[in-house]
Amino acid sequence: MKPSLETLLKEVDKREEELVNLLKTLVAFQTPAPPARNTAEAQSFVAAFLEECGFTVDRWNIYPNDPNVVGTLKGSSGESYRSLIINGHIDVAAVEADEPWEEEPFQAVVKDNKIIGRGVADMKGGLAGALFGIKLLREADISLPGDLIFQSVIGEEVGEAGTLECCRKGYKADFALVVDTSDLHIQGQGGVITGWITVKSGQTYHDATRRSMIHAGGQLFAASAIEKMMKVIEGLQELERHWAVTKSYPGFPPGMNTINPAVIEGGRHAAFIADECRLWITVHYYPNETYEQVAAEVEEHIRSVAEGDVWLRENPPLFEWGGASMIEERGEIFPSFEVDTHHKAVEMLSRVHHEVLGHKAVIDVSPTVTDGGWLADAGIPTAIYGPGDLQNAHSVNEQLSLEQLKEYTKVILAFMYEWCHTKR
């Protein structure tokens, strides 16, 4: 490691208070989602921070008062050297009024060598460390040959995929690092897709007709959509069990690929036979699968179930998949991705982690999901690497070890330096 870089890493320890204050500032911007539509002020702070570091900033609204911010620092020899995206989300998990926080959630405090506040683990700690690393590089007047792109995006907590909008705008790099909660593990992830299954009758019947549709001799070919949805749910349970037996992925315990019947809506009034029933499901799938693939498997199985029922055969279930927002559309997609352990950037990040921290990096898979899938889906080699653990993400009294925050900041600083000094 170059002497100039080693000097910068020592600055992280010397300026710990400044790093912590940066994280406290980010936490103080109240950006919970839901309700969302509250990130503009925080994003203005990030944009100004990047501009002070010499970045050209692109800012645009995804939703009112919820803008994306992307800063680009053009390398001195960008055509010849590797480029890097650092990606993180500015929104945090919601805080309910009755949660027993020991301190004010949005006024972060330091206790027992930990910083406590909403979002410190998920994932303003990741944003703060990366921003502080950039600041140290710029203050040292270190010029990076490769391009560095910093993305502060909205909506990750509610499936609004600010990162997808960055990809649609054409932001690309040779590698992307999502600085979300990973406990300093280098990770890929499985995926999540939500869907709605609808069972619908072509005609509505009065409650008094029920006897004619369920008893011998009634002669009325009709059914309750709610009762028929019970068969659909049984079919989903059958498929879930089948997946648990027939599918697996290294690093995941068996049965992580689940189908959750999360919300059910049906019927219109107690005086009517239910003519429509909608089931909202959440499907978790493995890193080597796609959301299109698993959605097709669910549809194929449920259509087979419907073929075995005389009424559902004539009134087959309908399917709607995904969505761009859990708030606006009641739907979301988080694509999966695998980490290529032989990719030059992954090898470099693993080596830098070892050199800086003195122990080998863990390369595994996240049990949750991040926006990293959208970057990978856009053809950008991607990994997750950030401070904080999932036990603290979304939790009451959310906290992050100060030592891990400093460790992460050192590693991300050194990685940005080395990767952007790597020739193509």
Looking at residue 119, its amino acid is G
Looking at residue 6, its amino acid is E
Among 11, 66, 122, 156, which one carries the catalytic annotation? 156
* DSSP conformational letter for 113: T
Cα(207)–Cα(223) distance, integer angstroms: 11
CA dihedral defined by 173, 389, 194, 230, rounded to 10 degrees? 160
Read off the tokens for 52.
Answer: 């002070």
CA distances from 367 to 11, 90, 98, 100, 258 (A): 34, 21, 28, 26, 12
Cα(335)–Cα(371) distance, integer angstroms: 8
Cα(299)–Cα(8) distance, integer angstroms: 54
Read off the tokens for 297.
Answer: 């498997």
Among 11, 91, 332, 389, which one carries the catalytic annotation? 91
CA distances from 120 to 24, 221, 362, 411 (A): 9, 58, 22, 18
Among residues 178, 230, 138, 166, the alpha carbon closest in space to that of 417 is found at 138
Among residues 369, 23, 386, the alpha carbon closest in space to that of 189 is found at 369
Told to judge if 156 belongs to the known catalytic residues of this protein, a careful annotator would answer yes
Q: Across-strand partners of 70? A: 58, 151
Task: Print burial letters for 185-202: b (CB count within 10 Å at least 16), e (below 16).
Answer: bbbbbbbbbbbbbbbbbe
Among residues 120, 21, 183, 157, the alpha carbon closest in space to that of 399 is found at 120
Residues in the chain: 424
Told to judge if 91 belongs to the known catalytic residues of this protein, a careful annotator would answer yes
CB 290 within 8 A of CB 335: yes
What is the set of active-site residues?
Answer: 91, 156
